[in-house]
Structure 1
Amino acid sequence: MPTVRRLAHELLERQGLTTIFGNPGSNELPFLAELPESFRYVLGLHEGAVVGMADGYAQATGRPVLVNLHAASGTGNGMGALTNAVSSRTPLVVVAGQQVRPAIGVEANLAIPDPSALLRPLVGWAGEPACAEDVPRALAQAIFEADLQRKPTYLSVPYDDWAAEAGDNAAAVLGRGVRRAGVPDEDQARWLAEQVGAARNPALVLGGDIDSIGRFDDAVRLAEALDAPVWAAPSLFRLPFPNRHPLFRGVLPAGIAPISAAFEGHDLVLVLGAPVFRYHEYVPGSYLPEGTRLLQVTEDASAAARAPMGEAVVADPGAVIDLLLKVVDAPAARPTSYTTPPEARSGEHGRLHPEQVFAALRDVQPEDTSYVVESTSTNSSWWRQMDLRRQGSYYFPAGGGLGFGLPASVGVALGRPDRPVVGVIGDGSANYGITALWTAAQERVPVTIVLLRNGTYGALRWFSGVLGVPDAPGLDIPGLDFTRIAEGYGVAARQVGGVDELRAALAEDHDGPRLLQVDTVPTAPNA
């Protein structure tokens, strides 16, 4: 009779979860024993970096990914990074070790008395098998729940379970498959088409899910067919629409009043693949202008249920895009004239303006480059200068937890080796996931990290002004040299001065990871 471990490994292989991101401890070693040669274990030096790398990898591949963490302590270290994965609806399957069953009740060291409670309500599902024979079924549930909900799941497994016999019925789980079908029925389809068709001046709001599900180009076709302006939903984790397309109006500001003002004059706002809405800065006002209706289409039933206004249809946004493309009167195909970025602003005192850095990236990097961005204070500069026209061009930590950028850059590069990957990372956020550089070096990942060093937490400094606390301590971080840190982890690194030197450095060939440190002037997210 096979062991629980053998069945679990076979289940993971059949479900395509053969790349494991982890930082194991003693409780996890029995699971990793006899790991088949077809598996790949990507080691991270801190659990936050492990989860960030897995997040980037899962987003880049579009598939669930297994994350291996150590008991409660390791899980706790990774929970900050999990908040970003939750906001990005990333299907991570987190499996953590538990003490042997006889030691749980007495709360021996490394035991988690109530492991499900540790992660709830953050993850979409959490559990611990009631007995060893239930481990394969519970693991399958964790995989299917992550895929169906597009949300991380969590499974705690006592480490003595892995060597136990699986039981006569446990192998039945190997042949299982769970599929999603979220197409509107005939009545819903008719109603959706009528609502959009009757709108005099519709507007579109697209969420990161549109890019995640591979509907970037279809969203462009729909917007052009409707001749409707397009906004990206606030707290954007993926770019769902070309940012220099003439119909694009930018990312919605994350406040109630400014979002309402943006919709002034539109009788219908159609939201596809996004919550309604993820506000941040509290700017009160009416949710919608007078005379404006909102219609939300999302696969996330929870997002539909908690929205404070409008009507919602829980369905696959991609299927709704297909439906609408069949019924709207599309104009004749015409060439799209993309807008031109303005001239980049200049820095001072020997430091570049972030716009100069982004203009260099735009001009030198290939058009299919994937950018992982974690430099919040340069947000406005980023959108002023970049020209992103491809699916999978942009990844951002929508949950607001620092430490996503460096690890996710490594994960995206591992998941999409066919595309160039650049991480645009601020010096404040880089410290939270710095150990990912070691993994990049060990795996020889050809990722470029552009490290923007301004010596301060720029976004936090801006927010201190918004909140009226300009004298808050702890906003500056002088004295950091990431070139020396990167070299210590085995990553080639250099300090880059002027624009010409930056452009020349970006154009150089490289077959492994590299870090380019650029000193920049401080900027605000909205300036």
Structure 2
Amino acid sequence: MTTVRAAVFELLRARGVTTVFGNPGSTELPFLRDFPDDFRYVLGLQEAVAVGMADGHAQATGTTALVNLHTAPGVGNAMGAVVNAAANHTPMVITAGQQVRAMMTMEALLTNVDATTLPRPAVKWAYEPPRPQDVPAALARAFHLAETAPRGPVFLSLPMDDFDVELDEAEAAAARHAAGRRVTDETAAAGPAVAALAARLAAARNPVLVTGGSVDAEGAWDAAVALAERRGMPVWASPIEGRVGFPEDHRLYRGVLPPALAPLAATLQGHDLVLVVGAPVFRYYPYVPGPVLPEGTGLALLTSDPGEAARAPVGDALVAGLRPTLERLTELLDKSEAPGDGPGTGAEPAEQAGAEPDTEPMSARTALAAVASAAPPETLWVNESPSNLQIFREFVRIDRPGSFLTTAGGGLGFGLAAAVGAQLGRPERPVVALVGDGSAQYAITALWTAAAYRAPVTFVIPANGEYAILKWFGRFENTPGVPGLDLPGLDLCALARGYGVTAHRATDAAHLAELVAAATAATDGPVLIEAPITTVPPSL
């Protein structure tokens, strides 16, 4: 006879999901018992780290991640990371153990009292199967929902006594059918709708393309480039995106739009049509009052997320798969000349300013220039240094798909964990994680996983001893005297060594570049490099 456990692992094998991220508790032990040799269990020492690693792994590999959490407390610990995964449109199936069915009614210890409500609204779907025999079908449904647009995390609560239940012949056959099903949703928009958009683009005097992270996630990078080149459109990156949707060294690339109403609208001045692809309209923070668009400017949105389409404050929206729709749109357009509104900003990364003194602490510009110069061209970058992100984008120009990850969710704790997951998923690529000293504390235990699994991630910590981005917001929002924004006494190297990670403290730019070059060339485990820096406030 086939047990529920056996059926579950067969379903996972059929889908190619043989890595499980988690932090086990007593309610998860029945699922993990006699763990199969062909599966890999990646242990995070805290649930948010497990979800963050799964997020990075799913985005780096283009597959759906599986996370196993510990009933209600574990889900609670993980919720910040789940919110980030939802904002990132990361396909992820989150399972959590539940008390045995016989004791759920009396709410025995570790009962998840309202299991399907707890993770909402950060998940697309939350479910607890009514019978053990329904677990395989529920898990199959979870994968289908996670992988169809808009992609994102889903949640299953699984009572711990379900896994040893035996399936009869009909139930086992149903489980096999569930394992074999596939759902495909890469559909182009209807022909008339694409033709109407093509006509609108052709008629526009000076259209502009704005790309978001979903362009990269949906494999539409080349299609976006082809459309921009066919129509000769300048290209801006949508603000606060978790991925890069257009090559930043391309002649048509202009930069990243400011994440506030008034300056964003001012940046788009002079364009009569804005085509937004794979991004919301728009992701703002902070609040700077102003119009969404300049007077007389129209907007069209192409997105696979019906929610993004519905909540856009202006413009018409087309809900469809990005790649096939962009390809068809390009076919319908006649080739246009390149725009005459100025040169692109993406030809070359910025040069390091030679006039800055080479002292400790370094300026953020000096430090990031050194890191950028030493990292290999094929680097997969993970960034969670909010106050230095603008400077990073000056020195590091992403020129290929799948090469940059940050979080669109706004919650800290993504960077260290996601970098470990990304490296485990793409071991052939060097992974460099730039993570602020404050941000690092939210997922510091990810260092242990990196060391335990010998993941050769290069962690670079630009350490300014404060929550610099919050100090900038404090000045911007005129809120002086806020406590808790300084971080004295952190010893990042000591913390890293305590978790088994080799650590160095860079003394100057040349030393930092030398350390990064050596770390990215190594394959025998992670390295953390602390780089003391001064603070440079960002700007809108």
Structures share fold, TM-score greater than 0.5: yes
Q: Is 1:282–2:292 an aligned residue pair?
A: no
1:392-403 equivalences in 2 (<5 Å): 392-403=402-413
- Give the structure 2 partner of residue 480 of structure 1: 490
Segments of structure 2 that go 5 or more residues without pairing to the other structure are 339-343
CA gap of 1:61–1:347, structure 2 versus 1, over 3 A, is farther
- Give the structure 1 partner of residue 19 of structure 2: 19
- For 1:357 and 1:388, the matched residues in 2 are separated by 18
- Give the structure 2 partner of residue 343 of structure 1: 352
Task: State the one-letter code of the partner of 2:352.
Answer: E
Q: Is 1:510–2:522 an aligned residue pair?
A: yes
TM-score normalized by structure 2? 0.94
What CA RMSD, in Å, does the superposition of the two structures yield over aligned residues? 1.7
What do the CA deviations read for 1:416-441 (whole angstroms, capped 9, x no partner)? 11111100010000000110111101
Among 517, 521, 525, the alignment partner of 2:534 is 521
Would the aligned equivalents of 1:371 and 1:393 in 2 still touch at CA under 8 Å? yes
Would the aligned equivalents of 1:235 and 1:254 in 2 still touch at CA under 8 Å? yes
- For 1:75 and 1:347, the matched residues in 2 are separated by 48
- For 1:522 and 1:122, the matched residues in 2 are separated by 33
What do the CA deviations read for 1:378-414 (whole angstroms, capped 9, x no partner)? 1221122222211122111110110100011111111
Task: State the one-letter code of the partner of 1:72.
Answer: A
Secondary structure in 1 matching 2:96: strand
- For 1:521 and 1:348, the matched residues in 2 are separated by 12
Task: State the one-letter code of the partner of 1:473.
Answer: P
Would the aligned equivalents of 2:18 and 2:38 in 1 still touch at CA under 8 Å? yes
Segments of structure 1 that go 5 or more residues without pairing to the other structure are none
Task: State the one-letter code of the partner of 2:158.
Answer: V
- Give the structure 2 partner of residue 79 of structure 1: 79
Would the aligned equivalents of 1:246 and 1:339 in 2 still touch at CA under 8 Å? no
Task: State the one-letter code of the partner of 2:217.
Answer: S
CA gap of 1:61–1:373, structure 2 versus 1, over 3 A, is same
- For 1:186 and 1:245, the matched residues in 2 are separated by 30
Shift of 1:339: 3.6
CA gap of 1:354–1:46, structure 2 versus 1, over 3 A, is same
- For 1:114 and 1:245, the matched residues in 2 are separated by 50
Shift of 1:332: 8.9
What do the CA deviations read for 1:192-216 (whole angstroms, capped 9, x no partner)? 2112111111001100011112222
- For 1:161 and 1:41, the matched residues in 2 are separated by 21
Among 155, 177, 182, the alignment partner of 1:177 is 182
- Give the structure 2 partner of residue 446 of structure 1: 456
- Give the structure 2 partner of residue 373 of structure 1: 383
- For 1:106 and 1:440, the matched residues in 2 are separated by 41
Q: Is 1:199–2:212 an aligned residue pair?
A: no
Task: State the one-letter code of the partner of 2:420.
Answer: V
Q: Is 1:266–2:267 an aligned residue pair?
A: no
- Give the structure 1 partner of residue 35 of structure 2: 35
Would the aligned equivalents of 1:206 and 1:233 in 2 still touch at CA under 8 Å? yes
What do the CA deviations read for 1:33-55 (whole angstroms, capped 9, x no partner)? 13321111000101111111100
Worse overlay, 483-492 or 210-219 = 210-219
- Give the structure 1 partner of residue 102 of structure 2: 102
Among 499, 518, 523, the alignment partner of 1:489 is 499
Worse overlay, 416-425 or 243-252 = 243-252
- For 2:349 and 2:375, the matched residues in 1 are separated by 17
- Give the structure 2 partner of residue 119 of structure 1: 119
- Give the structure 1 partner of residue 474 of structure 2: 464
Shift of 1:321: 1.6
- Give the structure 2 partner of residue 160 of structure 1: 161
Among 223, 229, 235, the alignment partner of 1:224 is 229
Task: State the one-letter code of the partner of 1:135.
Answer: V
Among 256, 267, 279, the alignment partner of 2:261 is 256
- For 2:347 and 2:285, the matched residues in 1 are separated by 30
Task: State the one-letter code of the partner of 2:23.
Answer: N
CA gap of 1:161–1:358, structure 2 versus 1, over 3 A, is same
Shift of 1:271: 0.6
Shift of 1:493: 0.5
Secondary structure in 2 matching 1:451: strand
Worse overlay, 158-167 or 75-84 = 158-167
- For 2:199 and 2:392, the matched residues in 1 are separated by 38
Would the aligned equivalents of 1:263 and 1:288 in 2 still touch at CA under 8 Å? yes
- Give the structure 2 partner of residue 235 of structure 1: 240
Shift of 1:349: 5.7
Identical aligned residues as a percent:
48
Would the aligned equivalents of 1:451 and 1:516 in 2 still touch at CA under 8 Å? yes
CA gap of 1:369–1:235, structure 2 versus 1, over 3 A, is same
CA gap of 1:181–1:518, structure 2 versus 1, over 3 A, is closer
- Give the structure 1 partner of residue 145 of structure 2: 145
Secondary structure in 1 matching 2:535: coil
Q: Is 1:356–2:366 an aligned residue pair?
A: yes
- Give the structure 2 partner of residue 131 of structure 1: 131
What do the CA deviations read for 1:243-283 (whole angstroms, capped 9, x no partner)? 23332222111112222112211111001111111112111
Among 294, 315, 322, the alignment partner of 2:320 is 315
Moved over 4 A (4+): none
- For 2:365 and 2:396, the matched residues in 1 are separated by 9
Q: Is 1:430–2:443 an aligned residue pair?
A: no
- For 2:241 and 2:494, the matched residues in 1 are separated by 33
- For 1:515 and 1:339, the matched residues in 2 are separated by 28
- For 2:535 and 2:104, the matched residues in 1 are separated by 51
Shift of 1:184: 1.4
Secondary structure in 2 matching 1:119: coil
Secondary structure in 1 matching 2:198: helix
Would the aligned equivalents of 1:257 and 1:285 in 2 still touch at CA under 8 Å? yes
Count of residue pairs brought into register by the alignment: 525
Shift of 1:347: 5.9
- For 2:180 and 2:513, the matched residues in 1 are separated by 52
Would the aligned equivalents of 1:410 and 1:445 in 2 still touch at CA under 8 Å? yes
